Amino acid sequence: MGLEKYLDIKPEIAEALKNGTPVVALESTILSHGFPYPENKEFAKEVEKIVRAEGAIPATTAIIGGKLKVGLTEEELMFMCNPVDVGKVSRRDIAVYLEAGKAGATTVATTMIIAAMAGIKVFATGGIGGVHRGATETMDISADLQELAQTPVAVVCAGAKQVLDIGLTLEYLETMGVPVLGYGTEDFPAFYCRKSGFDVDYAAKDAAEVARIINTKWDLGLKGGLIIGNPIPEEYELDFDTMEGIINQAIAEANEKGVRGKYITPFLLARIKELSGGESFKSNTQLAFNNCRVAAKIACELAKL
């Protein structure tokens, strides 16, 4: 029977894909495990609105009732905002969640998998996962990086989450052959901050240039995705050194409590929000909005090609 047994594509999105209308994939982990309730409900509606305003169709992904969902109804979107009933799903968990009929929020890796199955080429997220600080001992490396090496989806993000080892994350991506583009920047963004101190592979000047690079890569049959590092808008940027201090404190607390694996990032983001007096949450929201805007522009340019 193949993929159609598992894949449930919303009619509006199926029509858009058939007609070559631009579509942008969106994850659901940011709703279920990234943002608190009820703020996540407003965020969910706003990101879809932003994508539509730029001329593309939003496709929020999730696992609900034994199906890989591509596009959610308003009822499903609101359901995903209730973290009590929703697990966090990466590549290794997909088959288990489908078979058990459990509800799952899609990470970067899972969203890429579902988007590729549906034929969606561009995906907007907050920040990618990567190599965790101290990974030389813990081997804690996000599945997002392997997915980027093998799955043909372009990911627009505000760089890697600042809680990670950004230098090692970029080294890993280079080894895996994943192009790291900067959207109007030569410096790879560090989530809350516009600059990490590490260079991108190439600074693209606009959405049209990014689309041409994406198109050329896949025309050549080169496997895997691309990263488009899109810096947080200047007015929402946080001070790098201040954030480093807060992040180091949050990491120390996580180590004390023995928080590991897929629970580490939600723990750190929640603790950073508290320690920054809510400033990190404001920045996280705005960088995600900005990524959706840019992803939609890129999807529109890609559709022209």
Residues involved in catalysis: 27, 161
CA distance 196 to 296: 25
Look up residue 91 and give its DSSP letter.
G
Instruction: Tell me the DSSP string of 5-51.
Output: GTEEE-HHHHHHHHHT--EEEE-SHIIIIIS-TTHHHHHHHHHHHHH
CA distance 276 to 235: 16
Task: Specify the 3-state DSSP secondary structure of 68.
Answer: strand
State phi, psi for 195 to the nearest 5 degrees: -130, 140
Q: What burial letters (b/e) apply to 268-278, b meaning 16+ CB within 10 Å?
A: bbbbbbebbee
3-state helix, strand, coil in the chain (%, to 5): 55, 20, 30
